[in-house]
Every structure is written in structure tokens, then in C-alpha cells.
């Protein structure tokens, strides 16, 4: 076993990270469970709503099903059992299973967040590197102010402003939904229209979905870029001061080769940490932004649920987002291990 | 004030620095211009190690950086640095990048920071080789393996796949030396090559430098604050203080009969006033000391 | 305390804060913050109308009578924007103070006493960090019920772990310094050591984090209110005003002005925090809420 560990440090690293991720997932369920049960509001009322909670028969049934008379630990296991079977409770607004509704909504948000994060990383790292190379000069100062602007603006307000000008007034980009009402969505493979339409070879749907994606993605990208530019700049600056960059120049390597092979690789680790954080912020941002653009994803679902105090649905969202976030961080950890050999020890 | 007893004949190959003057002005409106080096003259000849000694701030490292064109932003160099009939101080950025690593190479002080922690040794040995020598991947890796053997790294082929943190300090410096020599440069500048290493390992690395200098006929500039190191392998010694040369000459003369009071102070500050005997540079004793 | 280099010339001292705080961004930031503080204090005097008074003059565009227009219930937008500062600013400051205190104390305890206490506190922070901030705050606020107090509680739960982490790592790194060890040998109690030896050194990093957090808190609070989980009608709060504006896109003034208010004050606070960070604390230039 030890021999295996010594010869395949990367595999061992992966296994360790996955174990930690699973533990964190359990932690997430603990948090949601705690919130529902150790809070002033009666859990039955939270789960079923005020009207249903007045009916003793329904209350009794719920109590039996969820073992509310039993000790906390037993209740937790019952809760977990429900979760593993995919039962997250019933939405107070629609009386439909929450898990099902979330399943419908999730791909839309993944698509939006995915495109936005890719754009933010490319633009953020690019501008941050530029700022680092031009340190102290005017363009650096300008970028600094711009990135501070990015993290100071309330994203829901930015969404409104963008919506107002680019759609409402100037009709430059479509403002609502993921597709024009006249276009038929492609057959569902992943639930993400961009991918599904490519798979189906439906270029009309693809272009239309892309156009609809642009505005919300623009808002989310602008929002998360601020943080990325700052971090990229700091990391790159730190790397530029390192000896190995100077040594690379002393070897006769030049600009582009140094930037990609040496500088970015050195700066990659802290930058990747930030990508994880930024993605978390993006997911949060979707809650505040999707409803403006009638984007039926997790965010809009959460917004509606929150405004209507549909607590079980909000819990469901929290759970799903937690899982997604842990998964993303796991992927990032793995990328760390691949890029920086020192971490595998 | 400069006291010199150096032989003024010059050789065709090698590097010649004359009238070198470096000034520095920090970026910003209110900065003043300071002179870091003035009237620096030095000749590097193939097969010889020219030691440059001094305290921190004496300008010895700056001289090396000036040769490579790696002075910090805000620094200006005037004077002459001639290599192979060309004036390096007037070379443009592109020409300089072709000279660095290929004709003039540098060994930095601390191998734990001068080697990139995330790139394999093989990559770091071959990337500039492929650029300068235009050879393919396979040929470059083959040559890299030979270089590692030349600097006494065991299991050279295996080492190519490893990362710097998997080696000890002495081995890392040997790797750095191999990287410097990869493209067969004519001039090598070693900036405090043993300062960051354990004392037990220093002699081995110094011996290696001496051997390589002799066998490959490179002109080496050895920068150090440690006169003990200097006395071990340098052929001639130049003493610098506050940006200028105060004394210069063959090792034996300068170290046993110093003419400038500052040189005498430096020698006097050596523990036990000890000037070491020059290290033997035969292969046998090199293998004894395993870095 | 001046430091000197090896040849006796004085080196600049590390504490450069006056120069950085004179940066134009920081000055602009301070001016804006002071203006908003004055607005918050003197809002009753500055407002032309009662912010929660409904009038029949609904959805009126900006005019002489109502400089920023009126909203869906005929309330004067300008007055509501001015009064909004009385909600956002004090609550955010309160939140940051509570969060810093709670987080620092727990973090210091974790770092200093170690072992089980450390494990427990760290696992709790891990749990909080598995969720993106706004999501967790939203969930907690939804469960507790919409009100400003509950929103603050939710935000407190979500923000203290960051300070705990920072404090803990600082305490751990300082725990082994000489003067702390000396005090332990002298028999001073843990509390005294924490208070006298450790706190002054961590103050810089914490202050930077806290300043930037004021801005984040204002954004978070307005975000929760936008979702309907914070301020309840008829309270004049910027986030909820923007929510109303979302339903009435033609009446752009309802959403634009509160947003500009948020933007201006958060930007100003960030200018100040950014300059403070440059001046006081190069370490925390990295991630603040990450592991």
C-alpha cells in the first residue's frame, strides 16, 4: 500500500480530497437539518406552511413520517434517508416535489454561471496580468479603480441598469427568458440549451440561446471580474518579483514564453483559489439577477421562494448550492494538485 | 583610489568590461539619481575564474547583472561591455535575449528560488536549449541527461522527471549549474553560488565550478563576499567597495600582499585569518564529497 | 525605530502609512464617507418630506417639488434615499463590530489554546464556508422570518468565521515569538498575553478586513432586503426600494437613486480600505474568506 502511495502521489491526493468532500457534503446536510429543527419556528409550520399546520390530521401524519417525536439523532437519520431517496419536501407555493423543481432549474443556472465564470477568468486574468506588468502607470491605476467599482456595485442594481439600457430602451439584446417564445427548445440532454442545441445540430436555437445568454452573463461577468482582476494582479506581481522569473530571463527566454510557462504557472495557484470564491459569489449573484431577466434557473426559483417565505424550497436551494459549491472546490483542489507538485506531498 | 597589479594583456575570447558606470533613479517624481557603480573595469578570460569580492552593497552583483542586461527598472548603464567584438550595452532587447543563456549565462545564489518549483527539471534544462540551439525535444533531453551526469547527479534520466523540491540544496545548485552550461556559453557569471548552501556541501560545488571552468574553457566571474571561497578557486581577485574597484590582481598577490587598506580589512576579518589552499580539482576527490 | 543597512546608512522604516493615506482615492473616499455620515445624522433636517408619508402624487418623475421623484405610494424618493442611510450605515457598522469581536475572540482562543477547542471552532467555520455567503444568509434569514434584526443575525452568522480564521492563523504564528514565550515563562496569564502581546500586532490586518467588510455588509443587507428578507415596508431602505423599482421599470428614478447611493458609499469605503491595505498590511493582499 505504501509503495503505491509513494509511486502515485497524485492518486492518493485525489482520494484524500474526495473523502474530505464527502465529509463536507454530510456537513451541509447537518447545517440544513439544524436550521430546520433548532430554530424558533415550529418545523411543521416551516415545512407545511401556516394553513396545513392548522389541520391536526396533516400535522400528525407529518410528525409520524418525519419522526418528530424521536430524539434529534434519529430525526437526522430519517432526514438523511429522505434526502438520499431524493425527497426534499414539497414546495409551499406549488405543492410539487422540490427536488423535481430544482432539477428543472439547475441546468439553466449552471449554464449561465459557467459561461460567466469562463469569461471572468479570461478577462480578469488577462487584465490583471496587464495591470501587473504596467504597475504604477496610468493604465494600472485605471484598472484598479474599475475593479473597485466592480466589487462596490450592488449586482441586482447593475442587472436592472443593464436591462434598462440594453433591452428596455435600446433593444440591443433580448431581455427575458432563455429563448424566444417562437423557438422550440432542443431535446433535453443536459438541460443546457447551448450544449443541447449543438448536440442536436440546431444552429437557430443555438444562436438564439446565445443571444439570450449574453445580457445576464455580461452582468455576472462584470460583477465577478472586479475581484478577479485584483487577485490576478497581486499574484502576478508577486511572481514577477520571484527569482525564477529573473533566472528565466537570464536564460534568454523572452516575453510570451515567460508569461505563459513561468509567470502564469506560478500565479495559477492563488488565482485558482479565487476562482472558487468567485464562483461562489456568482452562484449567489444568480439569485439576485435571474429574476430580472426571467431566466428560469435556480436563482429565480430561490428568489421567488425567498420572497414568498417558501422555506422548504429555500432549504432545498441551500442544499443544492452547497453541493455544487463543494463539487467545484473539489475540482479546484484537484487542479491544484495537478499544477503544483509540492501540494501532493 | 585604485591599486592594480594585473597583467594588462587581453585575450580574444572572453568578456571585457571597461568604464562601466551604473546609475539608478527610482520611479516617481521626487526620486534622486544615485550612482551605483563607477569606473568598473574587469576582464574575463577563458579557462580562468575571476573573483569579485566585497560586502553587500559594494556593487559586485550589480556588475554581473549589468553584463546580462538584467539591471532593475530605473537603472542606466554606460561604458563598455565587449563580448566577441560586440558592445553589449548597445544591444537591443532582442539581441540580448539571444545572448543570454546562449553566450553568457548566470548561476544565481539560491537554487530553491531560482528554479521554478512547478516545472520538471527536464523542462527547465531544455526550454532555453530548444530556443537557442534549435534542437528537437529528444536531442535536448539527451543533452540534458549528459549535463546532469557532468555535474554529478546520480540517476540523471530519473532526475529529469523530478521537481526541484525533491532534491537537496547542493543538488539543486548543481542542476542550476547544468542549466547555465546547457547551451555551451563562453562566459558564466556565478553570483554567490555557495552562499545559500550548507558548509559541508560548499566545497563540492566549488570544486565542480573549478573543474567545469577548466574542462569547458569558459570565462567565469565568481561573485562572493566570502574571501575563503575566493581563495579556494579564483585565479585573480578584484575587490570592490561602494561601487568601485579598490584592488585587483592575481589571487596569490592580492590575498597575501594586499595593497589597499580595505582589502587588508577584509582579509583580517576572516576567521582565523585563514587563506585556504586552492582546492584540487581532480575527479576523484570530487566524487568523495557528495552534495 | 530606524533600521540601518550594513554600511550604516539608515533604511526607511516600514510604517509608511501617512503617504498611502494621502492617495487621491483614499481622500475622495473619506470625503464621501463623511458626507454620508452627516446625511445619516441630519437626515430629518435635510429631507424635504416624511419618508413614509403616502401621498396621492404617485410615480411622479423628478421635478421641483420632488427632486428625485415619487414612488408607487407617492413617497418622496429623495427623502427615502436620505433616510435609507440611517438603516444601512448604523446596521453595517454594528454588524462589523459584532462580527470582528466574535470572530477575533473565537479565533484567538482557537489559535492560542489549540487542540479540541481549535478543532471544534475550525469545523464550525468549515461548515459556514461550504456555502456561498449570500445563499447561506438568505437561507437563515428566510427561516428566521423577514425583519432587519433577523437579517443582521443572519449576516453575523455568515461573517464571523472569516475573522476567526485570520485571527487564528495570526495567533498561531505569533504564539512562538520570543516575547510571548518570555511572558509565559514569567507566568502571565493567557488572557494577558493575548491582550498585550498579540493583539497590537494583529490589529493592522483586522482593521483592513473590517473596513472592507463595511462595504460588503451594506451590499449584503441591501441584497437581503431586495429579496424581501430584510427591511419590511414602510421602512426606507435602499435594497427594498430597488426591489420596488424593478416592478416599475418606466419609473427609472425609483431604482436608480438608491442604487447610486449604495454604489457611492461602498465605493468610498473600498477606496479607504484599499489604501489602508496598501499601507498597513501586505500579507492579506491575498484571499480573505478562503481557507
Q: At what angle do helices A298-307 and A98-133 cross, to 10 degrees?
A: 120
* Closest to A336 measured CA to CA, from A283, A280, A275: A275
Put simply, the chain B residues between 227 and 286 with a CB less than 8 A from any chain A CB are none
Do the beta carbons of residue B24 and residue B36 sit within 8 Å? yes
Distance CA A18, CA A323 (A): 13
Which residues form the domain of C158? Answer: 22-43+76-281
Distance CA A273, CA A215 (A): 27
Do the beta carbons of residue A244 and residue B113 sit within 8 Å? yes
Composition of chain B by helix, strand, coil, percent to 5:
40, 25, 35
Residue C245 with chain A: CB contacts under 8 Å:
160
Distance CA C247, CA C226 (A): 12
pLDDT for C37? 92
Segment B66-93 mean pLDDT: 88
Put simply, the chain A residues between 266 and 325 with a CB less than 8 A from any chain C CB are 270, 273-274, 276-277, 280-281, 283-285, 287-288, 291-292, 302-303, 305-307, 309, 311, 314-315, 317-318, 321-322, 325
Segment A195-223 mean pLDDT: 86
Residue C173 lies in a domain: yes
pLDDT for C13? 39
Segment C124-148 mean pLDDT: 86
Q: Is the confidence at residue B26, as pLDDT, over 90?
A: no
pLDDT for C8? 43
Query: How high is the mean pLDDT of chain B?
Result: 84
Do the beta carbons of residue C141 and residue C230 sit within 8 Å? yes
Between strands B219-224 and B187-191, the pairing is parallel
Cell of B199: 558548509
Question: pLDDT by residue (tens digit) across A263-300?
Answer: 888 888 788 888 888 888 888 888 888 888 888 888 88
Distance CA A236, CA A242 (A): 10
Residue of A nearest to C255 (CA): A157
Contact residues of A toward B, CB < 8 A: 136, 242-244, 246-254, 257, 261-262, 265-266, 339-342
Q: Which is more confident, C18 or A310?
A: A310
Q: Tell whether B55 is within 8 A of chain C (Cβ).
A: yes
Return the beta strands (E) in chain A as ranges. Answer: none
Residue A249 with chain B: CB contacts under 8 Å:
70, 97, 100
Composition of chain C by helix, strand, coil, percent to 5:
70, 0, 25
pLDDT for C14? 43
Q: Is the confidence at residue A44, as pLDDT, over 80?
A: no
Residue A317 with chain C: CB contacts under 8 Å:
135, 139
Q: Could you count the other beta carbons within 10 Å of the beta carbon of residue A238? A: 16
Residue C62 lies in a domain: no
Q: What chains are in contact with C, requiring at least 3 Cβ pairs below 8 Å? A: A, B
Question: pLDDT by residue (tens digit) across B214-253?
Answer: 999 999 999 998 888 888 899 999 999 888 898 898 988 8
Residue of C nearest to B242 (CA): C7
Segment B104-125 mean pLDDT: 91
pLDDT classification of C9: cutoffs 50, 70, 90: very low
Segment B175-195 mean pLDDT: 92
Q: Is the confidence at residue C219, as pLDDT, over 90?
A: yes
Domain of C179: which CATH number?
Answer: 1.10.3720.10
Of C135, C139, C249, the CB nearest to A164: C249
Residue C119 lies in a domain: yes
DSSP A258: I
pLDDT for B140? 92
- What 3-state class would DSSP assign to C219? helix
pLDDT classification of C288: cutoffs 50, 70, 90: very low
CB within 8 Å of C141: residues ≥ 6 apart: A306, C150, C151, C154, C224, C227, C229, C230
Distance CA A174, CA A133 (A): 38
Lowest mean pLDDT among A134-143, B95-104, C121-130: A134-143
Q: Which is more confident, B280 or C84?
A: C84
pLDDT classification of C132: cutoffs 50, 70, 90: confident
Cell of B208: 565542480
DSSP A291: G
A244, B165: Cβ pair inside 8 Å?
no
Q: What chains are in contact with B, requiring at least 3 Cβ pairs below 8 Å? A: A, C
pLDDT classification of C4: cutoffs 50, 70, 90: very low
pLDDT for A78? 81
Cell of A313: 424550497
pLDDT classification of B208: cutoffs 50, 70, 90: very high
pLDDT classification of C5: cutoffs 50, 70, 90: very low
Return the beta strands (E) in C110-220 as ranges. Answer: none
To test the contact with chain C by mutation, choose from A106, A224, A232, A284 the residue with the greatest count of C C-beta atoms within 10 A, namely: A284
Cell of B259: 595593497
Do the beta carbons of residue A184 and residue A205 sit within 8 Å? yes
pLDDT for B7? 33
Distance CA C214, CA C270 (A): 9
Cell of C126: 468549515
Residue C284 to chain B, least CA–CA distance (Å): 22
Residue B218 to chain C, least CA–CA distance (Å): 34
Distance CA C155, CA C159 (A): 6
Residue B285 to chain A, least CA–CA distance (Å): 30
Residue of B nearest to A239 (CA): B116
Q: Number of folded domains in chain C? A: 1
Query: How high is the mean pLDDT of chain A?
Result: 82
| Chain centroid, CA C229 distance in Å | 19
Let me know the angle formed at the C-alpha of A60 by A58 and A66, rounded to the nearest 5 degrees. 100
Burial B60-91 (b: 16+ CB within 10 A, else e): bbbbbbbbbbbbeeebebebebbbeeeebbeb
Distance CA C142, CA A104 (A): 22
H-helix or E-strand spanning residue A332: helix A311-339
Q: Is the confidence at residue C10, as pLDDT, over 60?
A: no
Distance CA B213, CA B203 (A): 15
- What 3-state class would DSSP assign to C228? coil
Residue C6 with chain B: CB contacts under 8 Å:
55-57
Q: Which is more confident, B103 or B228?
A: B103
Distance CA A254, CA B200 (A): 37
Query: Computed over its alpha carbons, how large is the radius of gyration of chain C?
Result: 23
Residue B242 to chain C, least CA–CA distance (Å): 9
Q: Is the confidence at residue A244, as pLDDT, over 60?
A: yes
Contacts 24+ apart (CB under 8 A), C11-17: C16/C279, C17/C279, C17/C280
DSSP B31: P
pLDDT above 90 as % of chain C: 26
B55, C7: Cβ pair inside 8 Å?
yes
Segment A156-176 mean pLDDT: 84
Distance CA A278, CA A229 (A): 11
pLDDT classification of B262: cutoffs 50, 70, 90: confident
A243, B113: Cβ pair inside 8 Å?
yes
Residue C2 lies in a domain: no
Segment B178-188 mean pLDDT: 92
Residue C48 lies in a domain: no
Distance CA B250, CA B265 (A): 18
Residue B252 to chain A, least CA–CA distance (Å): 32
Residue A162 with chain C: CB contacts under 8 Å:
none
Q: Is the confidence at residue C35, as pLDDT, over 90?
A: yes
Segment A230-234 mean pLDDT: 84
Q: Which is more confident, A258 or C125?
A: C125
A276, C267: Cβ pair inside 8 Å?
no
Q: Could you count the other beta carbons within 10 Å of the beta carbon of residue B139? A: 14
Residue C37 lies in a domain: yes
Query: Computed over its alpha carbons, how large is the radius of gyration of chain A?
Result: 24
Question: pLDDT by residue (tens digit) across C68-78?
Answer: 888 888 888 88
pLDDT for B255? 82
Q: Tell whether B32 is within 8 A of chain C (Cβ).
A: no
pLDDT for C199? 65
Cell of B54: 566585497
Question: pLDDT by residue (tens digit) across B28-59?
Answer: 667 788 888 988 999 999 999 999 998 888 88
Query: How high is the mean pLDDT of chain C?
Result: 80
Residue A115 to chain B, least CA–CA distance (Å): 29
Instruction: Output the CA–CA distances (angstroms, integers) from residue C31 to A149, B175, C25, C208, in the order listed.
Output: 17, 57, 10, 19
- What 3-state class would DSSP assign to B43? strand
Q: Is the confidence at residue A5, as pLDDT, over 70?
A: no
Distance CA C49, CA B199 (A): 81
Q: Model-level pTM greater than 0.95?
A: no
Segment B140-149 mean pLDDT: 93
* Closest to B129 measured CA to CA, from A90, A201, A251: A251
Distance CA A26, CA C267 (A): 38
Distance CA B105, CA B221 (A): 10
* Closest to A312 measured CA to CA, from A25, A53, A74: A53
Instruction: Output the CA–CA distances (angstroms, integers) from residue C170 to A209, C17, C123, C288, in the order listed.
Output: 49, 21, 18, 13
Distance CA C88, CA C72 (A): 22
Q: Is the confidence at residue B194, as pLDDT, over 80?
A: yes
- Indicate the burial class of C21 (C-beta count within 10 angstroms; 0-12, 13-18, 19 or more): middle
Distance CA A17, CA A3 (A): 20
A292, C246: Cβ pair inside 8 Å?
yes
Q: Tell whether A31 is within 8 A of chain C (Cβ).
A: yes
Distance CA A298, CA A321 (A): 9
pLDDT for A4? 63
Q: Could you count the other beta carbons within 10 Å of the beta carbon of residue A122? A: 13
Amino acid at each position: 500500500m505504501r509503495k503505491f502511495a509513494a509511486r502515485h502521489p497524485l492518486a492518493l491526493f485525489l482520494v484524500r480530497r474526495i473523502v474530505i468532500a464527502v465529509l463536507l457534503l454530510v456537513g451541509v446536510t447537518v447545517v440544513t437539518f439544524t436550521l430546520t429543527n433548532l430554530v424558533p419556528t415550529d418545523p411543521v409550520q416551516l415545512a407545511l406552511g401556516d394553513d396545513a399546520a392548522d389541520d391536526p390530521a396533516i400535522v400528525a401524519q407529518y410528525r409520524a413520517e418525519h419522526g418528530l417525536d424521536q430524539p434529534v439523532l434519529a430525526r437526522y437519520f430519517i432526514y438523511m434517508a429522505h434526502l438520499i431517496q431524493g425527497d426534499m419536501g414539497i414546495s409551499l407555493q406549488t405543492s410539487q416535489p422540490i427536488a423535481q423543481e430544482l432539477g428543472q432549474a439547475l441546468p439553466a443556472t449552471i449554464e449561465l454561471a459557467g459561461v460567466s465564470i469562463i469569461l471572468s477568468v479570461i478577462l480578469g486574468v488577462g487584465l490583471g496580468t496587464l495591470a501587473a506588468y504596467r504597475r504604477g502607470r496610468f493604465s494600472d491605476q485605471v484598472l484598479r479603480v474599475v475593479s473597485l467599482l466592480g466589487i462596490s456595485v450592488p449586482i441586482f442594481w447593475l442587472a436592472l441598469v443593464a436591462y434598462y439600457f440594453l433591452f428596455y430602451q435600446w433593444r440591443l439584446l433580448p431581455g427575458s427568458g432563455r429563448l424566444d417564445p417562437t423557438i422550440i427548445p432542443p431535446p433535453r440532454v443536459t438541460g443546457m440549451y447551448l450544449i443541447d442545441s449543438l448536440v442536436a445540430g440546431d444552429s437557430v436555437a443555438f444562436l438564439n440561446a446565445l443571444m439570450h445568454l449574453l445580457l445576464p452573463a455580461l452582468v455576472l461577468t462584470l460583477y465577478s471580474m472586479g475581484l478577479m482582476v485584483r487577485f490576478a494582479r497581486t499574484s502576478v506581481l508577486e511572481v514577477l518579483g520571484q527569482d525564477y522569473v529573473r533566472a528565466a530571463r537570464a536564460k534568454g527566454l523572452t516575453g510570451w514564453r515567460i508569461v505563459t510557462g513561468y509567470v502564469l504557472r506560478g500565479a495559477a495557484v492563488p488565482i485558482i483559489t479565487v476562482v472558487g470564491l468567485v464562483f461562489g459569489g456568482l452562484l449567489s449573484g444568480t439569485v439576485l439577477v435571474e429574476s430580472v431577466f426571467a431566466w428560469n434557473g435556480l436563482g429565480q426559483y430561490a428568489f421567488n421562494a425567498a420572497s414568498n417565505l417558501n422555506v422548504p424550497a429555500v432549504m432545498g436551494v441551500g442544499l443544492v448550492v452547497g453541493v455544487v459549491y463543494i463539487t467545484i472546490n473539489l475540482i479546484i483542489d484537484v487542479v491544484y494538485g495537478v499544477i503544483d507538485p509540492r501540494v501532493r506531498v | 583610489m585604485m591599486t592594480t597589479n594585473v597583467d594588462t594583456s587581453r585575450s580574444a575570447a572572453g568578456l571585457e568590461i571597461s568604464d562601466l558606470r551604473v546609475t539608478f533613479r527610482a520611479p516617481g517624481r521626487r526620486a534622486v539619481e544615485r550612482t551605483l557603480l563607477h569606473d568598473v573595469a574587469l576582464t574575463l578570460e577563458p579557462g580562468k575564474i575571476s573573483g569579485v569580492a566585497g560586502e553587500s552593497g559594494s556593487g559586485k552583483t550589480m556588475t554581473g547583472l549589468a553584463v546580462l542586461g538584467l539591471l532593475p527598472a530605473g537603472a542606466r548603464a554606460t561604458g563598455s561591455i565587449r563580448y566577441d567584438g560586440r558592445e553589449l550595452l548597445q544591444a537591443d532587447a532582442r539581441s540580448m535575449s539571444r545572448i543570454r543563456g546562449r553566450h553568457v549565462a548566470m548561476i544565481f545564489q539560491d537554487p530553491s528560488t531560482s528554479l521554478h518549483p512547478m516545472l520538471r527539471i527536464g523542462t527547465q534544462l531544455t526550454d532555453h536549449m530548444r530556443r537557442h540551439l534549435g534542437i528537437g525535444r529528444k536531442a535536448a533531453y539527451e543533452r540534458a541527461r549528459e549535463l546532469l551526469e557532468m555535474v554529478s547527479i546520480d540517476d540523471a534520466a530519473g532526475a529529469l522527471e523530478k521537481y526541484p523540491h525533491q532534491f537537496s540544496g547542493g543538488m539543486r545548485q548543481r542542476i542550476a549549474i547544468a542549466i547555465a552550461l546547457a547551451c555551451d556559453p563562453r562566459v558564466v557569471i556565478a553570483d554567490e553560488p555557495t552562499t545559500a548552501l550548507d558548509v559541508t556541501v560548499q566545497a563540492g560545488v566549488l570544486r565542480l565550478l573549478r573543474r567545469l571552468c577548466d574542462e569547458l574553457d569558459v570565462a567565469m566571474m565568481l561573485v562572493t563576499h566570502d574571501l575563503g571561497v575566493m581563495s579556494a578557486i579564483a585565479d585573480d581577485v578584484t575587490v570592490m567597495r561602494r561601487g568601485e574597484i579598490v584592488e585587483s590582481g592575481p589571487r596569490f598577490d592580492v590575498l597575501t600582499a594586499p595593497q589597499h587598506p580595505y582589502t587588508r580589512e577584509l582579509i583580517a576579518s576572516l576567521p582565523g585569518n585563514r587563506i585556504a589552499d586552492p582546492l584540487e580539482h581532480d575527479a576523484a576527490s570530487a566524487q568523495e564529497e557528495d552534495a | 525605530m530606524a533600521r540601518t543597512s550594513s554600511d550604516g546608512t539608515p533604511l526607511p522604516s516600514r510604517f509608511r502609512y501617512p503617504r498611502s493615506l494621502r492617495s487621491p482615492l483614499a481622500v475622495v473616499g473619506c470625503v464621501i464617507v463623511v458626507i454620508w455620515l452627516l446625511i445619516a445624522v441630519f437626515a430629518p433636517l435635510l429631507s424635504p418630506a416624511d419618508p413614509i408619508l403616502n401621498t396621492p402624487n404617485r410615480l411622479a418623475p423628478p421635478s421641483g417639488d420632488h427632486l428625485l421623484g415619487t414612488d408607487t405610494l407617492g413617497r418622496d424618493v429623495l427623502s427615502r434615499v436620505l433616510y435609507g442611510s440611517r438603516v444601512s450605515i448604523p446596521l453595517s457598522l454594528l454588524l462589523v463590530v459584532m462580527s470582528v469581536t466574535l470572530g477575533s475572540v473565537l479565533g484567538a482562543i482557537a489559535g492560542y489554546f489549540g487542540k479540541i477547542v481549535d478543532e471544534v471552532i475550525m469545523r464550525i467555520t468549515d461548515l459556514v464556508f461550504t456555502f456561498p455567503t449570500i445563499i447561506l444568509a438568505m437561507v437563515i434569514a428566510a427561516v428566521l422570518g423577514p425583519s432587519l434584526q433577523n437579517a443582521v443575525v443572519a449576516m453575523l452568522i455568515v461573517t464571523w468565521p472569516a475573522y476567526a480564521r485570520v485571527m487564528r492563523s495570526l495567533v498561531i504564528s505569533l504564539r512562538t515569538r520570543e516575547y510571548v514565550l518570555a511572558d509565559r515563562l514569567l507566568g502571565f496569564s493567557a488572557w494577558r498575553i493575548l491582550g498585550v502581546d498579540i493583539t497590537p500586532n494583529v490589529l493592522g490586518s483586522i482593521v483592513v478586513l473590517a473596513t472592507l467588510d463595511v462595504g460588503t455588509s451594506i451590499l449584503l443587507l441591501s441584497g437581503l432586503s431586495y429579496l424581501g428578507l430584510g427591511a419590511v415596508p414602510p421602512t426606507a431602505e435602499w435594497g427594498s426600494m430597488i426591489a420596488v423599482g424593478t416592478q416599475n421599470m418606466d419609473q427609472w428614478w425609483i431604482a436608480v437613486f438608491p442604487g447610486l447611493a449604495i454604489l457611492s458609499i461602498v465605493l468610498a469605503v473600498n477606496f479607504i480600505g484599499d489604501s489602508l491595505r496598501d499601507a498597513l498590511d501586505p500579507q492579506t493582499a491575498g484571499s480573505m474568506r478562503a481557507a
